[in-house]
Amino acid sequence: MAATVFYLDPLPDVGGTAVLDGKEGRHAATVRRIRVGERILLSDGRGGIADTVVTSAMRDRLEMAVHARSEVPRATPTVGVVQALPKAERSELAVELATEAGIDSIVPWQSSRCVARWEGAKADKGVARWQAVATAAAKQSRRPFVPEVAPLHTGGEVFALARGVVERGGIVAVLHEAASVAFSSLTFRDVPEVLLVVGPEGGLTESEVTSLTDVGATPVMLGPTVLRTSTAAAVALGALGVSTDRWAQAPLDFESTT
């Protein structure tokens, strides 16, 4: 049975009462019209799941009895994306698609050729908006994990992040239309983590590609067509999911929690 999932942190123990109020409670009670006696799943966004039954429903508040608790293991390898800032109309789409495809973390990057510019308070607002989009997309796709959106990164911070992944035995794949190595030739199954690097509409500069290569990243060509910056990460995640066990988990439902 497909589950309705809402996020609540922290989750109460078995036998306790969970309360959804505020914006989340209003959406559940008024928009979704959830009523007493219905079963819903609660997640803390970090893999924790609570199987509950609604005991009280008001206009902007639900109370639920917690009948079971479980933990969903995180899929391996973990996959993050460094996403160069897309143009405004595609910025949120990039986050939404990557989240639905299963990304674990998102790093916004102010790369050299980005048309969009996040400066000062705009950077904080942009990160907060991406986090809200990621949370909504995770809920829509019934994910027990909500990807974390990191603060805006500079080039130097991205290169250091990539170096750390490589030093821990991971793979950093720079999606680049001029690369000579095929994405499908990389072996992901036995690595602990993967970092995808997606450039902006204008592409990565030669200097950026060189800096990433110098710290151990591998420029790769995803396929025969050039993808938009907003869709590249999601397509790469699909290919990666098929070649590993990341898509082997069953969809989140009531049966999987009992």
With CA atoms as reference, report the closest residue to 97 among 63, 58, 138, 38. 138
Residue 29, both tokens = 């009670």
CA nearest to 109, candidates 134, 91, 135, 132: 91
pTM summary value? 0.89
Domain boundaries, the chain: 5-71, 78-243
Rg for the chain, CA atoms, rounded? 20
Q: How far apart are CA 124 and CA 108, in angstroms?
A: 11
Phi, psi for 210 (deg, rounded to 5): -65, -45
Q: Which CATH class is domain 5-71?
A: mainly beta
Report the CATH fold assignment for 78-243.
Answer: Alpha/beta knot (3.40.1280)
Q: How many residues does the chain have?
A: 258
Per-residue pLDDT tens, the chain, 258 aa: give them: 456 789 999 999 999 999 999 888 888 888 888 999 999 999 999 999 999 999 999 988 999 999 999 999 988 899 999 999 998 778 899 999 999 999 999 999 999 999 889 988 999 999 999 999 999 999 888 899 999 999 999 999 999 999 999 999 999 999 998 899 999 999 998 899 999 999 998 899 999 999 999 999 999 998 888 889 999 999 999 999 888 877 766 666 666 665
